[in-house]
Structure formats: C-alpha cells, structure tokens
Amino acid sequence: MFVRYVSHEIRTPLNAVVIGLNYMRTCLSETDQDMVDLVEEVRMSCDAAVDILNDLLTYEKLDGGLLQIYFKHEDAFDFVGSVTRPFNQQVRLLEGVLEY
C-alpha cells in the first residue's frame, strides 16, 4: 500500500513535467538541435523514472501473488541503444571541451 501511495505522489508531478517537455518540444525549431536533444533526453529520463515506479509496483504485486513472471525475447541492439541514448547529449557537450 505504501509503495502505491508514494508512486502516485511521484508519478503525478513527473507526468506534468513530461507534458511540459512535450509542449516545449513542439515550440522549438529544428535549427536549435542541441535544445531539442536536451529536451528529449530530459523527457526520456522522466520516462525512466516512471518505469522505475512501475517496476516497484510490479514487485509489490509479485510479492502479493497478483502477477506471474514470464520471459520475452528482446533485440540486443535496441536494448543497448535505449541504455546509451540518455548519455548522447553529455558526450556531445564533452566533445567541445576535451581534446583527443
């Protein structure tokens, strides 16, 4: 019960942030690609936080015997891409600072 309450209290403001980021994304021009990338990465981070909350709820349901575990095939290339994508902006910023 505690996890459900806390996840609701965190999820509600995160959803508001995601809505604001989606609106901000529509207002940006394609010429400002760095800002578009930054907004997209912040949105992806918010989505990741919501996914963590969903996982917590899933563990609570598993513990209560309300869910069963099953396995599915995932493409490794897509998985690695989704894990590394949030770091793209940081790498681009460092490229201008670091010398090779």
pLDDT tens digit at each of 100 positions of the chain: 777 777 778 888 888 898 999 898 888 877 788 888 888 888 888 888 888 888 888 877 777 777 677 788 889 998 888 888 878 777 777 776 655 5
List helix spans (H) across the chain. 2-27, 33-63, 76-84, 88-97
